[in-house]
Structure 1
């Protein structure tokens, strides 16, 4: 693994139990993702994209293989060590937002800071500042149910970025956003990715933002079938 390598995926296989058998959704994935780059994962639904990023982010254990994130073999960690590593190093933007319904937008965005020991008042103020950057500063005190889908998405993005993680992993971060808002969010993620000690990996179907990627990986049937600066012609 080179010094510039943020993520090293080696011989990763993932099976899910299906009745008396199993379904293989990832087939012997080998992949290096470099620091300082915005990398997209594209492909049809069911191609394995979300499974792969969940394994990279330490959320879903592989059936076989190993994953190193900034030199740490994350699946050799204990459960507690893995939770702490994710908390300090990884930000994950979920497609379904996963906001806590009973607390405000600012409090939702502040959760990672509070969990890592930052005083609640300081964490909430920092969350408010970030939500202003994401153009929803006037929504800070609202509950998730009072926000539009796009506003909820931006709160989820703020929560993923609030603790300045070295790795940001995103599942369809622009899906609920209009074109202008989507590019604003991706510009922010690209700014994060350009730091030499960070990496951003994005699962997306959104062809409006393909031009912002440094690298595009296409998946099909649990395998990586394309690796390049531009989309393959058959996608």
Structure 2
């Protein structure tokens, strides 16, 4: 069996709502294996986005520990955590978060430029990744000149272009038709699933459930199912 990519121990997360404290995650213990495509599913409000945000160092847990490829990420300083994410993690946001003033290729190249790569080389690699997603012909367009599905594919290219060890995706096929969604999932498997890598996907898209190596069902901040298929009652 491949090594553990992510290990969470007793992870909780609380949010303040007025005078109330609301617990969104209830002591999550979880090992995510490298080499696997792991789906995280559940109803809206079940804690999925909170969970993946904690896994990749964007949102601090209220309690508990998170290891990513053996590194206790919340023991790092702020600068160390930023550098760790840059070197090791690709995050596909549900809202895309593209920079509106630069074109698609420059958006996709952002992680490479941040790592210090020459801008021309970074752009060439970004265009090559856009080509894998069938949108290289949109490389020179600004985000507001792209459709929602095209913007999403630029965001996916940005997350994959630096070949991160961990790819975390929040609804990566939501704005895509069936054919484009399948192509994206195939690319995620090709780029992100290897013996030294892992990919976690939050999705409601039952068109791609058959591609998962593992499906976790989250309900009210607890993992209620861990298996290779969706349970019959979901």
Settle same-fold status: TM greater than 0.5: yes
Distance of 1:137 and 1:124 partners within structure 2: 11
1:91 aligns with 2:90: yes
Distance of 2:151 and 2:188 partners within structure 1: 17
Q: Across the two proteins, how many residue pairs are aligned to each other?
A: 234
- Superposed CA deviations along residues 165-193 of structure 1, whole A, max 9, x for unmatched, are 00000000000000000000000111124
SS of residue in 2 equivalent to 1:88: helix
Unaligned runs of 5+ in 1: none
SS of residue in 1 equivalent to 2:207: helix
Cα deviation, residue 21, structure 1: 2.2
Paired residues of 2:133 and 2:184 also in contact (CA < 8 A): yes
Q: Runs of 4+ in structure 1 displaced over 3 angstroms?
A: none
Q: Which residue of 1 aligns with 2:108?
A: 109
Paired residues of 1:8 and 1:67 also in contact (CA < 8 A): yes
- Superposed CA deviations along residues 142-186 of structure 1, whole A, max 9, x for unmatched, are 000000000000000000001100000000000000000000000
Paired residues of 1:41 and 1:201 also in contact (CA < 8 A): yes
Q: Which residue of 2 aligns with 1:26?
A: 25
Aligned Cα root-mean-square deviation (Å): 0.9
Q: Which residue of 2 aligns with 1:78?
A: 77
Distance of 1:99 and 1:142 partners within structure 2: 12
TM-score (norm 1): 0.98
Q: Which residue of 1 aligns with 2:229?
A: 230
TM-score (norm 2): 0.99
Distance of 1:125 and 1:196 partners within structure 2: 27
Paired residues of 2:11 and 2:25 also in contact (CA < 8 A): yes
Cα deviation, residue 3, structure 1: 6.4
Residues 1:3 and 1:37: Cα distance change in structure 2 (over 3 Å): closer
Q: Which residue of 2 aligns with 1:134?
A: 133
Distance of 1:157 and 1:202 partners within structure 2: 12
- Superposed CA deviations along residues 39-62 of structure 1, whole A, max 9, x for unmatched, are 000000000000000000100000
Residues 1:210 and 1:3: Cα distance change in structure 2 (over 3 Å): closer
Q: Which residue of 2 aligns with 1:170?
A: 169
Unaligned runs of 5+ in 2: none
Paired residues of 2:2 and 2:35 also in contact (CA < 8 A): no
